[in-house]
Structure 1
Amino acid sequence: MDLTVKEIAEVLKISEDSNQRITNIEFDSRKVTNNGLFVPLQGTRDGHQFVEQAKENGAIATLWSEDTSSAPEDLFVFEVEDTKKAFQKLASYYREKIAPKVVAITGSNGKTTTKDMTEAVLAQRYETYKTQGNYNNDLGLPYTILHMPETTEILVLEMGMDHAGDLTLLSQMSKPDAAAITLIGEAHIESLGSRAGIAKGKMEITAGLKKRGDLIYSCR
């Protein structure tokens, strides 16, 4: 990633005109490096508690929840209502800026293998980048997008889901040119009710599919 403080501020609708460059973004304070942007998230622990560690590791900026007090004074601070949504918004902007072709892959089984095989074939001809491991949810997908090199021509994204609506968010964030559904199985049937419910959920991958984009699925 390579964005200026001003660019980030404009995306988040914040007033800041510095041309200082931000070259990495992390929600794990241990992974931040020089000129980094830290993304504190609310989980089992409040990520805001780790801003000092992020700063020690090289962070020069941080997202910051508006309802959290004691924003650091020695960093560029982007105060937002929801740090996760801001993180996702930055990912959408960065994808638009780099403008790779996007291939999105989902399914009850075989997502990771299909993603890896697809990227391996495309890499013979194009500059490619893919989801690392199974970073395929509402945090992992924007993380993948924001870590792709600026030279990326094709981005291969794995998309997972646990509940209805999950893939709608991921698809709209990534705007795929092509999407594939590997298999409709019974994973997450407890939250989606039936295989028909699972199939409906998987079809959410088309929510952001570009006009005239390709959808690949098995008829069996």
Structure 2
Amino acid sequence: MTLWTSRDAVAATGGRATRDFAVTGVSIDTRTIQPGDLFVALQAARDGHDFVAQALEKGATAALVSRLPEGVPEDAPLLVVPEVLAALEALGRAGRARMRGKVIAITGSVGKTSTKEMARIALTGQGNIHAAEASYNNHWGVPLTLARMPEDTDFAIVEIGMNHPGEIEPLARIARPHVAMITTVAAAHLEAFGAIEGIAREKGAVFRGLTQPGTAIIPEDLPVTQLLRDCADAAGALVIGFGQQGMAKPLKAETVDGATPVRARVLGETADFTLASAGTHFVMNAVGVLAALSAAGADVQKAAKHLSDWRPPLGRGAVEVLGGIRLIDDAYNSNPTSLSAGLATLARLTGGRRVAILGDMLELGPDEIAMHADMATDPSMLAVDLVHTAGPLMRALHEALPRDKRGLHAETAAELAARAGDLVAPGDIVLVKGSKSSKVSTVVDALRRTSQSTPPGERTA
């Protein structure tokens, strides 16, 4: 099905087409490009113009460029614009403008991608669904998601992220969501914001992009909940809280063998579902998702039924049987809030020794060492038997732990990974968690190499 004709793309971007074309997709990566795609020559770590010839050879119908790339003939199918990123943003705005369905935006310090996937899967059978790929939530990811959106989309789920002040509002204004959900506000990127209140204000800026009337889905029970409410009120949004005291809340959630049957009350409606996870943070986000979908006009009962089909993405809390151990792979990201949630998940699983393998939490600002040490007093640490640590910041936690809980410490995750066989024993329940840049995922890889893995999704525990 045609996504963009050259005429539509020219009208959206103000560019010049060298010839007529019709594309069926939009791509920024020649490694995954499909025949019929419009290749967008973004300038990032490398200049996308250097790959235009390759994209066309691999079947791209046309390329979005700001100049004639080297090795590309003048009569090649090109959409020439003054600046490629600005043109992609314009294409995203046009994609959003022509779509008549409902848009749901999801942001938060933790859980954006897993919550976006919950929403996508929960909407199964309720029309044409379009969602952001992977973690496409930044200055190019959001417009790319919208540029890829078919005109007949009934529900779109857009993920919006940030690293620095001022990033969320412009993306929200491009997406113009009908419903915006904040998963939580935590001490992430504190180097750029200075305090948790600054992070909350930045997250709350998502409400400024809401269509009118719009709905704000916010987490209750946070120290900054009122600040989020103030942001929503200032944007003229209807506010729905989710959490233990919210309009959407779990009534019952008990983990059994790693899965969690849940009964929830969502805007006056009772819904039952089972999550393939032991994490209470996943339960809360699932309840928030149901509130968001209800606000967008979806059927809550159908959505709850399909939540049972959701699985945590790799590296974000998925539980798998790995040889003789059970592994919680949460190595994609970490901050004090998400680490506390990960430890709570580990504490709820029973049947063996509980082992945590932890890499540095990054971008926490001047108090980062104290924040690492403070994790020794996290309530869930009482149930953890052994803690291995990697990284200069995690040394503070290693030294703060009681001696009987101290495992190995290494300055790098690679050093710890090299001793994978010494970290765990058959029967252990193992949490691996750290910021992505700490590369603690190398420990997960090492554990997989030394054990026989059951693929995630086939068997969970």
TM-score by length of 1: 0.89
Q: Structure 1 residues 188, 107: CA separation in 2 closer, same or farther (over 3 Å shift)? A: same
What amino acid sits opposite 2:9 in the alignment? I
Between stretches 183-192 and 129-138, larger displacement belongs to 129-138
Q: Separation in 2 of the partners of 1:90 and 1:201?
A: 25
Cα offset, 1:71, TM superposition: 6.4
Cα offset, 1:201, TM superposition: 0.5
Cα offset, 1:72, TM superposition: 3.9
Q: Structure 1 residues 51, 68: CA separation in 2 closer, same or farther (over 3 Å shift)? A: closer
1:123 match: 124
Q: Give 3-state SS (helix, strand or coil) of 1:215's partner.
A: strand
1:219 lines up with 2:241 in the alignment: no
What amino acid sits opposite 2:90 in the alignment? K
Q: Separation in 2 of the partners of 1:136 and 1:196?
A: 22
Offset from partner CA, 1:100-141 (integer Å, 9 cap, x none): 200011111122232222233332433222222211112222
1:160 lines up with 2:171 in the alignment: no
* Larger RCO, structures 1/2 (Cα 8 Å, 6+ apart): 1
Offset from partner CA, 1:61-97 (integer Å, 9 cap, x none): 2222259778641323222222112112101111222
Between stretches 42-51 and 139-148, larger displacement belongs to 139-148
Q: Structure 1 residues 10, 114: CA separation in 2 closer, same or farther (over 3 Å shift)? A: same
Superposition map of 1:165-180 within 5 A: 165-180=166-181
Between stretches 198-207 and 72-81, larger displacement belongs to 72-81
Cα offset, 1:154, TM superposition: 0.5
Q: Separation in 1 of the partners of 2:172 and 2:58?
A: 33
Q: Separation in 1 of the partners of 2:142 and 2:175?
A: 8
Q: Structure 1 residues 161, 92: CA separation in 2 closer, same or farther (over 3 Å shift)? A: same
Cα offset, 1:194, TM superposition: 0.8
Cα offset, 1:172, TM superposition: 0.9
What amino acid sits opposite 1:129 in the alignment? H
Between stretches 123-132 and 169-178, larger displacement belongs to 123-132
Q: Percent same amino acid among aligned pairs?
A: 35
Between stretches 111-120 and 206-215, larger displacement belongs to 111-120
Q: Structure 1 residues 120, 37: CA separation in 2 closer, same or farther (over 3 Å shift)? A: closer
> Does structure 2 conserve the Cα–Cα contact (< 8 Å) formed by 1:5 and 1:17?
no
Q: Separation in 1 of the partners of 2:52 and 2:157?
A: 31
Superposition map of 1:102-113 within 5 A: 102-113=103-114
2:13 match: 12
Q: Separation in 2 of the partners of 1:146 and 1:97?
A: 11
Between stretches 205-214 and 54-63, larger displacement belongs to 54-63
Q: Separation in 2 of the partners of 1:61 and 1:116?
A: 30
> Does structure 1 conserve the Cα–Cα contact (< 8 Å) formed by 2:28 and 2:39?
yes
Cα offset, 1:160, TM superposition: 0.9
Aligned residues: 220
> Does structure 1 conserve the Cα–Cα contact (< 8 Å) formed by 2:19 and 2:75?
no
Cα offset, 1:21, TM superposition: 1.2
What amino acid sits opposite 1:33 in the alignment? Q
Offset from partner CA, 1:5-60 (integer Å, 9 cap, x none): 01111112235596531212211123333333211111222111111101101123
> Does structure 1 conserve the Cα–Cα contact (< 8 Å) formed by 2:177 and 2:211?
yes
Q: Give 3-state SS (helix, strand or coil) of 1:103's partner.
A: strand
Structure of greater Rg: 2
2:87 match: 86
1:3 match: 4
Q: Separation in 1 of the partners of 2:125 and 2:69?
A: 48
Q: Separation in 2 of the partners of 1:5 and 1:127?
A: 24
Offset from partner CA, 1:191-220 (integer Å, 9 cap, x none): 111111101110111121011100011232
Unaligned runs of at least 5 residues, structure 2: 222-461
Unaligned runs of at least 5 residues, structure 1: none
Q: Separation in 2 of the partners of 1:208 and 1:70?
A: 41
What amino acid sits opposite 1:79 in the alignment? V
Q: Structure 1 residues 165, 69: CA separation in 2 closer, same or farther (over 3 Å shift)? A: farther
2:140 match: 139
Q: Separation in 2 of the partners of 1:175 and 1:216?
A: 15
1:60 match: 61
Q: Separation in 1 of the partners of 2:114 and 2:31?
A: 29
Q: Separation in 2 of the partners of 1:107 and 1:75?
A: 42
> Does structure 2 conserve the Cα–Cα contact (< 8 Å) formed by 1:64 and 1:71?
no
Q: Separation in 2 of the partners of 1:172 and 1:206?
A: 9
Offset from partner CA, 1:138-189 (integer Å, 9 cap, x none): 2222222233344320001111111112111210111000001111101011
> Does structure 2 conserve the Cα–Cα contact (< 8 Å) formed by 1:102 and 1:157?
yes
The CA RMSD over aligned residues, in Å, is: 2.2
Q: Structure 1 residues 45, 112: CA separation in 2 closer, same or farther (over 3 Å shift)? A: closer
Superposition map of 1:38-49 within 5 A: 38-49=39-50
Q: Structure 1 residues 122, 3: CA separation in 2 closer, same or farther (over 3 Å shift)? A: same
